[in-house]
């Protein structure tokens, strides 16, 4: 970087000491991104380049999409100071419901999908109702929900797998966005989307920084800003180029990206987001500030139900069948992703991007270790230790600060 030519150089050519203290203060945000990059680099080398092969990369996205979708909802639940243990079961139940409706009852898949999302919302509301308005601990309500929906899934499927789904329904998971340019061997449209989104993000970052500069808000040193954003842009372009070389961007990828953008915005920039963080940080103070904590917690659970249902549809479409075992244990992966992403058990702390990165850290490790032929036994051990290490890092970091 040629700092001297930058108009902001006078302001940002801060002494290294300032940069270091900034880094220390924001270690968590950089740390999680750095960890993901490091883990990817490690497996890229260890697997002899298989990890970032277009087909594997596409698989990686597909395999983790439902975890990411639920992690976004879980982030809100955990930030508000609660937890939802039922998401895996709800996801399995909704997948089963979709299968029964579409395959057995021949309901049009679009109507079935919408109905399933609605059922997800209702399930979330039913659980959120007890948590928010009767103050039953969410751990217990959703533990009960986990058992209930696991049972209902078995009942609904009568212990059998139900499938296959019609072709259009499968496209939710296995479809790719069409290439309107029709170039040979490369999905140009997908690449273009990647580039446009990357540049859009860059423009937004520059604009925000400009505003911060004008408002005199503490800003990150220019070198960090530049490196971080260049890395993000390069990674996005590179990944979309890789995937464009296979079959293009999967439909699910677009759904995921939209959810990340929407929920990232809601948590960061809206009054609803602010209020959810305040409730998790100090519920009593939030209520005495005129915030309707009960309603917001209720809505957080309803939202979680909807996203679990969406994940259920995606998962069923991907397997092309609904099985009684679908979703079992997924809640643990989802919760782990959110905590690896820096959320606090006691509420009030955490980011959507962190949760998504956390989910991908888990996903890359699953994928990389499978390629390396590491058994499921040791995979579990290693993932457990990574979760523990991430949280220990958080706690230590907070103590020092």
Backbone region of residue 184 per phi and psi (left: phi > 0; alpha: psi in -120 to 50; beta: other values): beta
- Nearest approach in angstroms of CB 219 to other proteins is 11
Contact between 281 and other proteins (CB under 8 A)? yes
Distance CA(298)–CA(307), nearest Å, equals: 14
- Nearest approach in angstroms of CB 286 to other proteins is 7
Binding mask 241-260 for other proteins (x = CB under 8 A): --------------------
Contact between 264 and other proteins (CB under 8 A)? no
Instruction: Please give the torsion angle defined by the CA atoms of residues 267, 271, 272 and 275, in that order, rounded to the nearest 10 degrees.
Output: 90
Contact between 316 and other proteins (CB under 8 A)? no
For other proteins, the closer CB: 160 or 270: 270
Phi, psi (degrees; rounded to nearest 5) at 322: -105, 125
User: What is 140-156 written as a DSSP string?
Assistant: HHHHHHHHHHHHHHHHH
Among 275, 297, 302, 331, binds other proteins (CB under 8 A): 275
Phi, psi (degrees; rounded to nearest 5) at 162: -120, 130
- Nearest approach in angstroms of CB 398 to other proteins is 9
Contact between 277 and other proteins (CB under 8 A)? yes
Binding to other proteins in span 193-222, by CB under 8 A: 211, 214-218
Distance CA(235)–CA(175), nearest Å, equals: 23
| 74-104 residues labelled b (16+ CB within 10 A) or e (exposed) | bbbbbbbbbbbbbbbbbbbbbbbbbbbbbbe
Among 184, 290, 373, 399, binds other proteins (CB under 8 A): 290
Among 19, 63, 161, 292, binds other proteins (CB under 8 A): 292
Residues in contact with other proteins, counted by CB under 8 A, come to a total of 29
Contact between 160 and other proteins (CB under 8 A)? no
Residues that bind other proteins (CB under 8 A): 211, 214-218, 269-275, 277-278, 281-282, 284-292, 344, 348-349
């Amino acid at each position: 970087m040629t700092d001297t030519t930058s108009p902001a150089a006078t302001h940002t050519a801060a002494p290294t000491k300032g940069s270091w203290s900034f880094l220390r203060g924001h270690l968590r945000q950089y740390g999680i991104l750095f960890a993901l990059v490091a883990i990817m680099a490690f497996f890229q080398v260890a697997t002899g380049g298989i990890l970032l092969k277009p087909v594997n990369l596409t698989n990686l996205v597909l395999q983790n999409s439902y975890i990411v979708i639920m992690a976004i909802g879980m982030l809100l639940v955990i930030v508000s100071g609660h937890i939802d243990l039922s998401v895996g079961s709800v996801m399995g139940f909704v997948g089963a419901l979709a299968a029964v409706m579409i395959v057995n009852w021949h309901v049009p898949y679009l109507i079935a999908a919408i109905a399933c999302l609605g059922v997800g919302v209702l399930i979330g509301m039913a659980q959120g109702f007890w948590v928010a308005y009767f103050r039953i601990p969410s751990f217990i309500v959703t533990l009960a929900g986990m058992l209930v929906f696991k049972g209902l899934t078995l009942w609904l499927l009568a212990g059998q797998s139900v499938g296959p789904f019609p072709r259009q329904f499968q496209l939710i998971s296995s479809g790719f966005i069409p290439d309107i340019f029709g170039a040979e061997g490369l999905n140009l449209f997908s690449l273009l989307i990647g580039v446009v989104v990357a540049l859009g993000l860059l423009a937004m970052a520059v604009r925000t920084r400009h505003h911060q500069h004008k408002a005199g808000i503490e800003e990150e040193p220019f070198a960090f800003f530049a490196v971080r954003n260049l890395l993000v842009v390069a990674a996005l372009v590179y990944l979309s180029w890789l995937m464009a070389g296979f079959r293009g961007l999967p439909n699910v990828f677009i759904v995921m990206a939209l959810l990340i953008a929407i929920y990232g915005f809601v948590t960061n920039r809206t009054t609803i987001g602010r209020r959810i963080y305040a409730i998790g940080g100090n519920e009593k103070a939030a209520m005495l500030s005129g915030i309707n904590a009960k309603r917001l917690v209720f809505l957080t659970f309803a939202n979680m139900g909807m996203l679990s249902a969406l994940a259920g549809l995606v998962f069923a479409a991907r397997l092309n069948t609904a099985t009684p075992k679908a979703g079992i244990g997924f809640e643990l992966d989802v919760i782990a992703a959110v905590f690896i992403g820096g959320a606090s058990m006691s509420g009030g702390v955490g980011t959507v991007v962190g949760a998504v990165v956390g989910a991908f850290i888990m996903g890359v490790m699953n994928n990389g270790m499978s390629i390396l032929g590491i058994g499921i036994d040791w995979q579990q051990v290693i993932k457990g230790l990574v979760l523990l290490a991430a949280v220990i890092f958080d706690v230590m970091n907070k103590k020092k600060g």
